[in-house]
Structure 1
Amino acid sequence: MNIVVLGSAAGGGFPQWNCNCRNCAGLRNGTVRATARTQSSIAVSSNGTDWVLINASPDILAQIRATPALQPARARRDSGIAAVMLMDAQIDHVAGLLMLREGKELPLYCTAPVWRELNGALPLVPVLSHYCGVRWHALSMEGGVRVPGIDGIRFTPLALASKAPPYSDHREHPEAGDNIGLLIEDVGTGKSAFYAPGLGAIDPRVEAAMRKADCVLVDGTFWDADEMIAPGLSGKTAADMGHLPQSGEGGMIAVLDGIGTRRKVLIHINNTNPILDEDAEQRAVLARHGIEVAFDGMEIAL
Structure 2
Amino acid sequence: MRIHVLGSGAGGGFPQWNCNCPNCSGLRRGNIHASARTQSSIAISPNDKDWVLFNASPDIRAQIESFPALQPAHHIRDTAIRAILLVDAQIDHTTGLLMLREHTAPWDIYCTQAVQQDLTTGFPIFNILGHFRGVHWHEVPTDRTAFEILGAEGLSFTAVPLKSEAPPYSPHRHNTVPGDNIGVRVQDSHTGGTLFYAPGLGAFDEEVRGYMREADCILVDGTLWTDDEMIRAGIGEKRGQEMGHLDQSGRGGIVETLSALKGPRKILIHINNTNPILDEDSPEHRALERVGIEVAYDGMEIKV
Q: Partners of 2:256 and 2:234 in 1: how far apart?
A: 27
- What is the CA-CA distance between 1:144 and the residue it aligns to? 1.2
Q: Partners of 1:167 and 1:244 in 2: how far apart?
A: 21
Which residue of structure 1 lines up, in the alignment, with residue 206 of structure 2? 204
Mapped pair 1:229 → 2:223: no
Q: Partners of 2:151 and 2:89 in 1: how far apart?
A: 25
Which stretch of the first structure deviates more once superposed, 275-284 or 258-267?
258-267
Q: Partners of 1:126 and 1:166 in 2: how far apart?
A: 19
RMSD: 0.7
Q: Partners of 1:141 and 1:186 in 2: how far apart?
A: 20
Mapped pair 1:252 → 2:254: yes
Which residue of structure 1 lines up, in the alignment, with residue 192 of structure 2? 190
Q: Partners of 2:271 and 2:77 in 1: how far apart?
A: 34
Q: Partners of 1:277 and 1:132 in 2: how far apart?
A: 42
Which residue of structure 2 lines up, in the alignment, with residue 295 of structure 1? 297
Q: Partners of 2:298 and 2:133 in 1: how far apart?
A: 28
Q: Please list the CA deviations of residues 146-170 of structure 1 after superposition, one character each: whole Å capped at 9, or x if unmatched.
A: 1122121011000000000012232
Q: Partners of 1:118 and 1:171 in 2: how far apart?
A: 14
Q: Partners of 1:132 and 1:56 in 2: how far apart?
A: 17
Give the partner amino acid of 2:118.
E
Q: Partners of 2:153 and 2:263 in 1: how far apart?
A: 28
Give the partner amino acid of 2:72.
P
- What is the CA-CA distance between 1:239 and the residue it aligns to? 0.5
Which residue of structure 1 lines up, in the alignment, with residue 271 of structure 2? 269
- What is the CA-CA distance between 1:17 and the residue it aligns to? 0.3
SS class of match (1:125): helix
Which stretch of the first structure deviates more once superposed, 69-78 or 254-263?
254-263
Q: Please list the CA deviations of residues 59-106 of structure 1 after superposition, one character each: whole Å capped at 9, or x if unmatched.
A: 000000000000001111110100000000000000000011001210
Which residue of structure 2 lines up, in the alignment, with residue 242 of structure 1? 244
Which residue of structure 1 lines up, in the alignment, with residue 133 of structure 2? 132
SS class of match (1:228): helix
Which residue of structure 2 lines up, in the alignment, with residue 119 of structure 1? 120
Q: Partners of 1:265 and 1:87 in 2: how far apart?
A: 18
Q: How does 1:1-302 map to 2 (within 5 A)?
A: 1-103=1-103, 104-142=105-143, 143-302=145-304
Give unmatched runs, 5+ long, in structure 2: none
Which stretch of the first structure deviates more once superposed, 183-192 or 217-226?
183-192
SS class of match (1:61): helix
Which stretch of the first structure deviates more once superposed, 134-143 or 83-92?
134-143
Q: Please list the CA deviations of residues 158-194 of structure 1 after superposition, one character each: whole Å capped at 9, or x if unmatched.
A: 0000000012232111111000000010022211010
Q: Percent identity of the aligned residues?
A: 56
Hey, which bits of structure 1, 4+ residues long, moved more than 4 A? none
**What TM-score results when the alignment is normalised by the length of structure 1?**
0.99
Q: Please list the CA deviations of residues 42-64 of structure 1 after superposition, one character each: whole Å capped at 9, or x if unmatched.
A: 00000111100000000000000
Q: Partners of 2:19 and 2:118 in 1: how far apart?
A: 29
SS class of match (2:232): coil
SS class of match (2:197): strand
Q: Please list the CA deviations of residues 261-291 of structure 1 after superposition, one character each: whole Å capped at 9, or x if unmatched.
A: 3200000000000000011000000000100
Report if aligned partners of 2:233, 2:274 keep a CA contact under 8 Å in 1: no
Give the partner amino acid of 2:74.
R
Give the partner amino acid of 2:297.
F
Q: Partners of 1:251 and 1:123 in 2: how far apart?
A: 34
Q: Partners of 2:241 and 2:189 in 1: how far apart?
A: 35
SS class of match (1:92): helix
Report if aligned partners of 2:83, 2:151 keep a CA contact under 8 Å in 1: no
Count of paired positions: 302
Give unmatched runs, 5+ long, in structure 1: none
Give the partner amino acid of 1:246.
Q
Q: Partners of 1:75 and 1:232 in 2: how far apart?
A: 50
- What is the CA-CA distance between 1:141 and the residue it aligns to? 1.8
